[in-house]
């Protein structure tokens, strides 16, 4: 019995707790209720839980703080929710080696703050950083604003401790920046959405806080013009730390006064020793294309310029239930993608709000659904489907950083192709032969 | 019959060709001779070869231009060598999307040169770049000088086309910078040393050529002082494009006049818009520690300063057969590693020459063996073994960038631990159930 082998406060079966652990920020709610919630406090709890689940063939749904946008943590009938948010200790923070060893429940922004005390930072900064956990970030290979320059979560994960489906503990990677002994299990587990193993600790690369930062905000007459301008920056060989696009409808939702300034906003940040000269180069590129360009080296003003981007999702959530797409396209196709999304929106009569990590070609078209409708109208599904098809047609992907979860499953085979899809399933079977880890997700 | 299904010029069975394809730059030569060499010109040749080999259970040893240093391409009794060096076309070079699609036999430096015509470059630059192939670079996840700032080969691979052991073609990854659909098969195949699939094309990220470069060369009284100085740069938060350490014995081998200038050389390059100010910061850090510091913004002079590093291996090859180790340690342990390597060298009476990618903590201790001895004396094996043990004791790895091949196989289990090693074998079995792909390597 699991209850007997776990410390007394770990296994929760009251209906209120169970219901609170059945979904994530996507709002996806499968049929039926999980059996129980295990609130893990240490690796041993995870081992014990998986051993029992493996023996009994019970599905296990690992979760952090439930900020996922694709239903990766949605837990249905007969499953066991494995909540890792209580494993929240920073085990080590080495300024000497510029790395941290953390448990999976550590809040992303909290690690960044702790690193800051040593002049370092944790580069990946998903929009959910204030609430999301490192474990969830690794499970989805989360992106964020800064990954334009510093890469996605995978690029900051040096090594992992994880528990396999049968309760075996594996350690992957290392404490060094480089290393090629064996297959790259660290990268394999990163982004596997809890389907291959449960992460119980991570060795993460920290980076020096840049010596300088310069931020620009430019308004444009059209969203396409803003997309073209962001591509001009890439094309000119400047690598900004972030380049965020916000369209007119999002500006309107955040603050009508912002919408009055233009039909689209592009915020660009350059950092490092060359920040000022890079920002000057960016300004020269933007000025002929934009209606206004504002530049600042002041961090507080920079945060104010970025606020329109950061407030996008909370503002849209006030309007209804946001269905957040996450396509990425080759950067040269960004403006084309923007035009096509607008046409899809018009064709189906579905309002689409768009923000984008422009330097990565990663677009978030957001369909806001009236919650009074209960479910998702057919037109919403059709528009979403056409947006996915558009991404693939342009040589892109269904998901740049949020993961497949349950929401995008039906499209996965089309993107991967049958052979790669089959290889993925073989790997899944090799690591989790009974299929207990987050079944029905990712693949 | 393979001979019947391949175009006439592909299958080579003359003894001279076979002997020329049995080893790599490590000089490792297994017992016996391969059956034949397939010189592939297109993906179809690889498919046909693997289908036959799979059916008959014949081991296949894929190879590029044979510059590997770990015996990864060593081919023994009864195997089929699959030579991919003839698949050497750059299929696409998109300045718009800053990527190239290439066949595996493209020479690394050749791609970099082609990218240069568009103001771009292929960042990974293993010391063998003038001869090594992209396919070999991907198979070993090769590093190089610039990976201090731009990452290893994996960080530049966006996607792959590969042929599985049974002849099935898979496509992994994408043309976008970001993407998280499915498991990261691109990273799994990168560094798998030809044991999981044969790469037939790669989509590679190109990056803008930096707008400026500044180079410094500093001489020191001791190698430890140079190692400490390089760590001071990391510790100060400066991210150089490269930081190369060369010890006194190597300087002596390259040019006795260099050895007269100091007991160790550190060459540091900063690039990008902040290059000059970063180089100034580096100079301020080095000046109190070094005997001389020279700084230049001139590319020709920079190449001259780097020449001592680039000439290290050819110079040592004049002295005998170099056995090149490739350990990496956490950067804070670099000076300690250097001291310990010196002690190991003295204890066994084995001269060790050391160069290092200092910013990565990646050391290449090189034992030069007198070819007149025929094989490797016991003292050499013992010293090499102690160097591996040292790397693991310091929290490091057996191989930073060269791969395991056959030379480091006996140490792999110790670094990975039994659980991770077992997971790797399960993945190998899932993808290559008959074990025909480069058996006896990597794991």
SS3 of chain A: CHHHHCCCCCEECCHHHHHHCCCCCCCCCCCCCCCEEEECCCHHHHHHHHHHHHHHCCCEEEECCCCCCCCCCCCCCCCEEEECCCCCCEEEEECCCCEEEECCCCEHHHHHHHHHCCCEECCCCCCCCCCCEHHHHHHHCCCCCCHHHHCCHHHHEEEEEEECCCCCEEEEECCCCCCCCCCCHHHHHCCCCCCCCEEEEEEEECEECCCCEEEEEEEECCHHHHHHHHHHHHHCCCCCCEEEEEEHHHHHHHCHHHHHHCCEEEEEEEECCCHHHHHHHHHHHHCCCCCEEEEECCHHHHHHHHHHHHCHHHHHHCCCEEEECECECCHHHHHHHHHHHHHHHHHHCCCEEEEEEHHHCEEEEEEEECHHHCCCCHHHHHHHHHHHHHHHHCCCECECCCCCCCCCHHHHHHHHCHHHHHHHHHHHHHHCCCCCECCCCCC
Q: Where is B3: in which H helix or E strand? A: helix B2-5
Residue whose pair of structure tokens reads 């580096």 in the numeric block: B282
Whether B412 and A181 lie within 8 Å, measured CB to CB:
yes
Residues 6+ apart with CB under 8 A from A352: A249, A341, A342, A344, A345, A365, A366, A367, A383, A387
| CA gap A28, A16 in Å, rounded | 18
Which chain A residue is nearest to residue B430, measuring alpha carbons?
Answer: A426
Q: Which of residues 61-80 of A touch B (CB under 8 A)?
A: none
Nearest neighbour of B328 by CB, restricted to A119, A178, A412:
A178
Residues of chain A found within 8 Å of residue B93, distances taken between Cβ atoms:
none
The yes-or-no verdict on residue B26 having pLDDT over 90 is no
Q: In chain B, positions 4-43, which contact chain A (CB-CB < 8 Å)?
A: none
- A-chain residues within 8 Å CB-CB of B207? 239
pLDDT at B37 over 80: yes
What is the reported pLDDT for B374?
A: 76
Domains belonging to chain B, first-starting first, are 2-83 (3.30.43.10), 90-208 (3.30.465.10), 211-309 (3.30.70.2190)
Q: Which of the four pLDDT bands, split at 50, 70 and 90, describes residue B270?
A: very high
pLDDT band at residue B230 using 50, 70 and 90 as cut-offs? very high
Q: Determine, for residues A176 and B281 on separate chains, whether the beta-carbon distance falls below 8 Å.
A: no
Confidence of residue B1 (pLDDT cuts 50, 70, 90): confident
pLDDT at B292: 96
Q: How far apart are CA A61 and CA A76, in angstroms?
A: 9
Element (H, E) at B223: helix B223-235
**B183/A183 touch (CB, cutoff 8 Å), yes or no:** no
Q: Is the pLDDT of residue A387 over 90?
A: yes
Confidence of residue A229 (pLDDT cuts 50, 70, 90): very high
Q: What residues in B contact A181, CB-CB < 8 Å?
A: 397-399, 404, 408, 412, 415-416
Query: What are the Cα distances from residue A390, in Å, to A329, A333, A381, B98, B410?
Result: 9, 11, 14, 21, 50
| Nearest CB to B169; choose among A171, A272, A419 | A419
What is the rounded distance in angstroms from the CA atom of residue B101 to the CA atom of residue B89? 9
Contacts of A188 in chain B (CB under 8 A): 183-184, 187-188, 427
Return the pLDDT at A203.
98
Report DSSP state, residue B73.
T
Mean pLDDT to the nearest integer, A145-153:
94
> What band does A26 get if pLDDT is binned at 50, 70 and 90?
confident
Question: What residues of A are in contact with residue B99 (Cβ under 8 Å)?
Answer: 330
Task: Choose from B179, B187, B196 for mutation: most chain A CBs within 10 A.
Answer: B179
CB within 8 Å: A196 and B183: yes
Contact A416 B140 (CB under 8 A): no
The predicted model gives A293-297 an average pLDDT of 93
> Which among B155, B185, B401 is the nearest to A420, CB-wise?
B185
* DSSP conformational letter for B76: -
CA distances from A4 to A48, A171, B30 (A): 10, 28, 56
Q: Each residue of B381-432: pLDDT tens digit?
A: 999 999 999 999 999 999 999 999 988 888 999 999 999 999 999 999 999 9
Tell me whether A146 touches chain B (CB under 8 Å).
Answer: no
For residue A400, the distance in angstroms to the closest alpha carbon of chain B comes to 4
Rounded-to-integer distance, Cα B21 and Cα B29, Å: 10
Q: Which two tokens stand for residue A22?
A: 């059945």
On whether any CB of chain A is under 8 Å from the CB of B413, the answer is no
- Kindly tell me if the per-residue pLDDT of B30 is higher than 90: no
Asked if the C-beta of B169 comes within 8 angstroms of chain A's C-beta atoms, the answer is: yes
By CA distance, what is B232's nearest residue in A?
A96
Q: Which B residues in the span 265-294 are in contact with A, Cβ-Cβ below 8 Å?
A: 272-275, 277-278, 281
B152 → chain A, closest CA residue? A178
Mean pLDDT of B351-379: 92
Spell out which residues of chain A touch residue B426, defining contact as CB-CB under 8 Å: 430-431
CB pairs < 8 Å spanning A and B? 280
Closest CA relative to residue B326, chosen from B381, B396, B377, B251: B396
Q: Are A18 and A30 in contact (CB under 8 A)?
A: no
Partner A contacted by B147 (CB < 8 A): yes
Q: For B101-140, what is each residue's pLDDT tens digit?
A: 999 999 999 999 999 999 999 999 998 999 999 999 999 9
pLDDT digits (tens, 9 = 90+) for A89-112: 999 999 999 999 999 999 999 999
Range of weakest confidence among A121-135, A255-269, B255-269, B296-310: B296-310
Contacts of B168 in chain A (CB under 8 A): 419, 422
Mutate to test the interface with A, among B150, B154, B177 (most CBs of A within 10 A): B177
Hey, are the CB atoms on A179 and B431 less than 8 Å from each other? no
Q: What residue in B sits closest to A142 (Cα-Cα)? A: B180
Q: Which of A140, A184, A235 sits opposite B191 (nearest CB)?
A: A184
Alpha-carbon gap: A375 to the closest alpha carbon of chain B (Å): 26
Q: Is B160 on the interface with A (CB under 8 A)?
A: no
Mean of per-residue pLDDT scores for chain A: 95
**pLDDT surpassing 90 at residue A310:** no
């Amino acid at each position: 019995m699991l209850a007997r082998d776990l410390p007394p406060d770990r296994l929760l079966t009251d209906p209120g707790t169970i219901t609170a652990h059945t979904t994530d920020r996507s709002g996806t709610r499968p049929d039926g209720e999980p059996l129980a919630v295990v609130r893990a406090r240490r690796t041993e709890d995870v081992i014990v839980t998986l051993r029992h689940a493996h023996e009994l063939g019970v599905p296990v749904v690992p979760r952090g703080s439930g900020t996922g946008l694709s239903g990766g943590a949605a837990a249905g009938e007969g499953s066991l929710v494995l909540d890792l948010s209580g494993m929240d200790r920073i085990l080590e923070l080495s300024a000497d080696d510029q790395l941290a060893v953390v448990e999976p429940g550590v809040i992303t922004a909290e690690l960044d703050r702790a690193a800051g005390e040593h002049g370092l930072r944790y580069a990946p900064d998903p929009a959910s950083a204030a609430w999301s956990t490192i474990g969830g970030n690794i499970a989805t290979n989360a992106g964020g604003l800064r990954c334009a320059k510093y890469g996605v979560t995978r690029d900051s994960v040096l090594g992992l401790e994880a528990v396999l489906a049968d309760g075996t503990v594996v350690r992957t990677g290392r404490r060094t920046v480089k290393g090629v002994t064996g297959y790259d299990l660290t990268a394999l587990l990163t982004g596997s959405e809890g389907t291959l193993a449960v992460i119980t600790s991570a060795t993460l690369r920290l980076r020096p806080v840049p010596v300088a930062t310069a931020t620009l905000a430019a308004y444009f007459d059209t969203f396409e013009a803003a997309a073209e301008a962001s591509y001009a920056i890439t094309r000119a060989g400047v690598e900004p730390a972030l380049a965020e696009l916000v369209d007119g409808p999002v500006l309107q939702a955040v603050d009508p006064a912002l919408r009055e300034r233009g039909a689209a906003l592009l915020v660009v940040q350059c950092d490092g020793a060359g920040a000022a000269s890079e920002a000057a180069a960016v300004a020269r590129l933007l000025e002929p294309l934009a209606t206004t360009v504002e530049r600042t080296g002041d961090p507080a003003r920079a945060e104010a310029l970025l606020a329109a981007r950061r407030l996008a999702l909370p503002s849209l959530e006030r309007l209804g239930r946001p269905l957040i797409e996450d396509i990425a396209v080759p950067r040269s196709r960004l403006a084309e993608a923007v035009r096509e999304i607008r046409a899809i929106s018009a064709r189906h009569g579905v309002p689409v709000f768009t923000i984008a990590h422009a330097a990565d070609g990663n677009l978030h078209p957001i369909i806001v659904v009236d919650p009074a409708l209960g479910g998702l109208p057919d037109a919403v599904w059709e528009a979403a489907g056409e947006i996915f098809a558009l991404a693939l047609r342009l040589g892109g992907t269904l998901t740049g950083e949020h993961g497949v979860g349950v929401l995008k499953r039906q499209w996965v085979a089309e993107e991967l192709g049958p052979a790669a899809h089959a290889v993925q399933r073989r790997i899944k079977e090799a690591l989790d032969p009974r299929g207990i880890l987050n079944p029905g997700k990712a693949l």
